[in-house]
């Protein structure tokens, strides 16, 4: 059940919001494709570059489709669509441009990127609740992926050369960033059964557990009550069983 607004109207359910976004996105993509086709036809008396734009718009619409229609496993379905779309799009672009290297080179790079994306997705699913650790492993995955992309491009484009020094430099920087992420994970995680002494107080609460965003008068009153409860508990523990906190101070002065 959705809560009613101040004006008495109910907010739209998420499914209707996604349907509205999908409708607007479809209308925008269709309008852009039609405009490009009309301009291309009347300027060059034929259709040439407009097919590339239309194919790219269709691929973008298909990629956004799982995000706006799926109810569960949204990210996984989007990755599946992103793993399938590049190959027919590259084949169509290679056919339109009459350049086979677009498909051969693009397919190799796409395979590397897709494998890296699925590996990072699996890492973040495995390391739920420990984002720094997941980020460290994800950075380690990027090292072989970047080297593989560089060597794959160097095989098809002679102007680009695979440089060992450049690979070592970028790999070293990525290793340093990964090590920083692992150090932050060690500093922020909680051991079981004990508190982490390195973790500071939460920015939302003070040392008495009172929210910092509470109003001034209310916050002072709650802090005063917390100090009073703390003092009572302290004197009660100091007095021992069978004696009141007031008797500690009076008894300590008067003697047995």
Encode the chain (256 residues) as per-residue pLDDT tens digits.
444 444 556 777 777 888 899 999 999 999 999 999 999 888 887 888 899 999 999 999 999 998 888 888 888 999 999 999 999 999 999 998 888 999 999 999 999 999 999 999 999 998 888 899 999 999 999 999 999 998 888 888 877 777 888 889 999 999 999 999 999 988 887 544 444 444 444 445 554 455 555 456 666 677 777 777 777 776 676 666 555 444 444 444 344 4
DSSP category for residue 163: -
Residue 10 lies in a domain: no
What pLDDT, on a 0 to 100 scale, did the predictor assign at position 202?
44
* Domain closes at, from 48, 75, 102: 75
Residue 237 lies in a domain: no
Residue 163 lies in a domain: yes
Residue 160 lies in a domain: yes
Residues 6+ positions from 67 with CB-CB distance below 8 Å: 74, 78
Classify residue 46 as exposed, middle or buried by CB count within 10 Å of its CB (0-12, 13-18, 19+): exposed
Residue 161 lies in a domain: yes
What is the helix (H) or strand (E) element at residue 198, kind and residue range?
none
Cβ(65)–Cβ(77) under 8 Å? no
Range of the structural domain that residue 104 is part of: 85-189
Cβ(147)–Cβ(165) under 8 Å? no
How many domains does one find in the chain? 2
- Same domain assignment for residues 134 and 180: yes
Cβ(130)–Cβ(189) under 8 Å? yes
Cβ(40)–Cβ(47) under 8 Å? yes
- Same domain assignment for residues 131 and 65: no
Residue 215 lies in a domain: no
Helix (H/G/I), strand (E/B), else coil: 205: strand
Cβ(184)–Cβ(136) under 8 Å? no
What pLDDT, on a 0 to 100 scale, did the predictor assign at position 166?
85
What pLDDT, on a 0 to 100 scale, did the predictor assign at position 9?
66
Q: Rounded to a whole number, what is the largest CA-CA distance in the chain?
A: 112
Q: Kindly tell me the sign of the dihedral angle through the C-alpha atoms of 215, 218, 224, 227.
A: negative
What pLDDT, on a 0 to 100 scale, did the predictor assign at position 198?
42
Q: Cα(193)–Cα(187) distance, rounded to whole angstroms?
A: 16
- Same domain assignment for residues 101 and 159: yes
Residue 231 lies in a domain: no
Residue 89 lies in a domain: yes
What pLDDT, on a 0 to 100 scale, did the predictor assign at position 54?
93
- Same domain assignment for residues 178 and 94: yes
Here the tokens at position 64 are 């956004």
Cβ(121)–Cβ(79) under 8 Å? yes
């Amino acid at each position: 059940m959705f809560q009613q607004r101040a004006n008495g109207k109910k907010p739209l359910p998420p499914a209707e919001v996604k349907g509205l976004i999908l409708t607007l996105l479809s209308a925008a993509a269709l309008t852009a494709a039609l405009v490009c086709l009309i301009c291309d036809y009347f300027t060059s008396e034929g259709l040439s570059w407009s097919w590339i734009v239309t194919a790219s718009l269709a691929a973008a619409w298909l990629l956004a489709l799982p995000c706006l229609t799926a109810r569960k496993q949204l990210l996984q379905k989007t990755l599946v669509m992103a793993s399938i779309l590049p190959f027919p799009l590259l084949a169509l672009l290679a056919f339109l441009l009459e350049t086979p290297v677009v498909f051969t080179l693009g397919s190799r790079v796409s395979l590397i990127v897709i494998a890296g994306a699925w590996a990072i997705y699996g890492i973040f699913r495995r390391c739920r609740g420990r984002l720094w650790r997941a980020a460290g492993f994800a950075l380690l995955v990027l090292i072989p992926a970047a080297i593989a992309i560089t060597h794959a491009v160097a095989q098809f484009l002679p102007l680009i050369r695979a440089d060992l020094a450049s690979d070592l430099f970028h790999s070293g920087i990525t290793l340093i960033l990964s090590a920083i992420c692992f150090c932050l994970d060690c500093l922020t995680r909680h051991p079981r059964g004990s508190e982490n002494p390195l973790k500071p107080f939460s920015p939302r609460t003070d040392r008495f557990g009172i929210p910092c965003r509470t109003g001034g008068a209310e916050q002072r009153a709650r802090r005063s009550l917390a100090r009073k409860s703390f003092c009572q508990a302290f004197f009660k523990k100091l007095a021992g069983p069978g004696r009141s906190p007031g008797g500690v101070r009076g008894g300590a002065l008067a003697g047995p």
